[in-house]
Amino acid sequence: MRTREEVVAQIRELGVVAIVRADSGEEALAAARVVRDGGLRAIEVTFTVPGAADIIRRLADEMGETILLGAGTVLSEELAREAVRAGAEYLIAPDTDPAVIQEAHCLGRPIFPGAFSPTEVARAWKLGADAVKLFPAARLGPAYLKDLRAPFPEIPLIPVGGVDAANCGDYFRNGAVAIGVGGKLVDRALLRAGRYEEITQRARELAAAVAAARLPA
């Protein structure tokens, strides 16, 4: 198992977390497989997926260290423990809960809690966040990252919400260390219809866009 520091470094290196939300566990499994086939290695399964812990366990067994597997929507200490027992290497939340941050670190896992305002971002960092999930990022757009980075250059920010292949470059140029992409990648309508190749193609396009956005100027 990778250390906290190694996981955070890999998230930075990969640059994008594929967020898997689905109506069923089987759809979530399919989604994880096809985004991996499209070249995305950091995959987050949210606890909104029915039987999420079992899906995380199955993916960990199936894919092992070929992916960087995390759990999302971790809203309690118990969910943090459940995620880690299942094999999650990092935890992500839409909010900042001091107890969940502490539990994640007790379990030896990095956590990326959610925040939006400058006060929330600073609080999350002071409470021990390994990086801060800026959510919902689309509300104020990529330029908001630049505004936040001015007073908080030391805080790694991961924008989530409305980020996609078309605009990810703007987020990286304004200071994102990585991005999280959910519905713009894993479209539930495509999942329900079994149109997996279209999701794989979106993953390929996103991976290419992230790589291009991070090339030296």
Across-strand partners of 179?
16
Dist. CA 112–CA 131, nearest whole Å: 5
- Which amino acid, 124? A
Active site residue 146: no
Q: Which two tokens stand for residue 69?
A: 């597997």
User: Residue 205 burial by CB count (10 A; 0-12/13-18/19+): exposed, middle or buried?
Assistant: middle
Sequence-distant (6+) residues with CB within 8 A of 147 are: none
**Alpha helix (H) residue ranges in the chain:** 4-14, 25-37, 52-63, 77-86, 98-106, 118-126, 143-149, 168-173, 188-192, 196-213
Active site residue 133: yes
Torsion of CA 147, 148, 150, 152, to 10 degrees: 180
Of the candidates 44, 82, 89, 103, the residue annotated as catalytic is: 44
Across-strand partners of 177?
none
Of the candidates 27, 82, 89, 133, the residue annotated as catalytic is: 133
Hey, which residues are catalytic here?
44, 133
